[in-house]
Structure 1
C-alpha cells in the first residue's frame, strides 16, 4: 500500500505539472499568464481584496499584489473602494478583463475537451471523487477547515 500511495502522489504531481503547462500555453495564446488568468477568475464573481484573493488561491499576498497591479496596469482590472477597509481596496474586473477571461476560458474548454475525449466519463468522475476524498483527508490531517467552512 505504501508503494501505491507514493506512486499516486508522484502521479498527482506529474499531472499537476502537465496541466500547468497546458494552462500556460492556453493563457499565453490569449496574452495572459496562468497566474493572471487564475486571479481574473477568482475575482470574476465578486470583487475581493488582495489578501482575500491570496487566501482563495493559496498563495502569498505579495504575489497576488504584484499580479493585481499588473492586471490594473494592462486594463484588465481596477481597484475599487472598500467600505469595510479603506486601506485595502477591492480588485474588480473591467470589461476588458471580463472579455479576456471569457476568451481564455473558452479556449481552455476546447483544450480540455480534446484532452478528456480519450477518457471514459465514469472513470473521470471516479478519479475526481477519489481526489476530493484525498483533499478532505489532507485538510483534516493539517487542521484546515473544510471548503464549506472557509
Structure 2
C-alpha cells in the first residue's frame, strides 16, 4: 500500500474511532448529565494547573474557542462550572470547577477507568504505546504546519 494511502486509511479509521468514542462516552455518562463534549471541557478545567479562560482551554484541547465557550456556558447553566474575573484580561473570564462539577467529574472518572481497562483488554501495551506515538506525531506535524498541502504548479 503506498505511503499516502496508508496514512489516509489511518485518518479515516481515526474519524470512525472518534465517532465510536463520542457515542460510548455519551452512553457512559448520560445519567450524570454529561455528553462526551461536556466531559471533555469539564476535564480540561479539572486538569488545568491553574484557572484558565476559555481560549486557553480551547487551545489545550485543539478545539475552537467558540465551541468551548458554548459548552462552558452549558456547564455553567448546569452548575458544573462557574466564571470568575480574570486579573489579566477583563473580558476573558476564568472557568472554575464548582463543587458539583468536582463531584460529577469524580463519578465520570470512576466510570472511565474500568471502561478503559476493559477496552484495552487483550491489546498489547507496546502496541497501544506505538499507536499513541504515531497519533501524537501526526497531531504535532499538523499543529506545526509541517503537513501543509503544497499545490503543484499547473503544467
Give the TM-score taking structure 1 as reference length: 0.84
Higher relative contact order (CA 8 A, sep 6+): 1
Q: CA deviation at 1:58?
A: 2.6
1:91 matched residue in structure 2: 95
Question: What are the Cα deviations for residues 83-133 of structure 1, in whole angstroms up to 9, with x where unaligned?
Answer: 111222101001110111111111111111111112111211121122222
Q: Which of structure 1's runs of 4+ aligned residues deviate more than 6 A?
A: none
- SS of alignment partner, residue 79 of structure 1: strand
Quick one: distance in 1 between partners of 2:9 and 2:74? 38
Equivalent position to 1:8, from 1, 7, 10? 10
Indicate the RMSD between aligned Cα atoms, in angstroms: 1.8
2:64 matched residue in structure 1: 60
Structure 1 residues 133 and 64, CA, compared in 2 at 3 Å: closer, same or farther? Answer: closer
Aligned length: 143
Quick one: distance in 2 between partners of 1:92 and 1:63? 17
1:50 aligns with 2:61: no
> Which of the pair has more CA radius of gyration?
2
Give the TM-score taking structure 2 as reference length: 0.82
Q: CA deviation at 1:52?
A: 1.8
Q: CA deviation at 1:8?
A: 1.8
1:137 aligns with 2:141: yes
1:124 aligns with 2:115: no
Structure 1 residues 61 and 126, CA, compared in 2 at 3 Å: closer, same or farther? Answer: closer
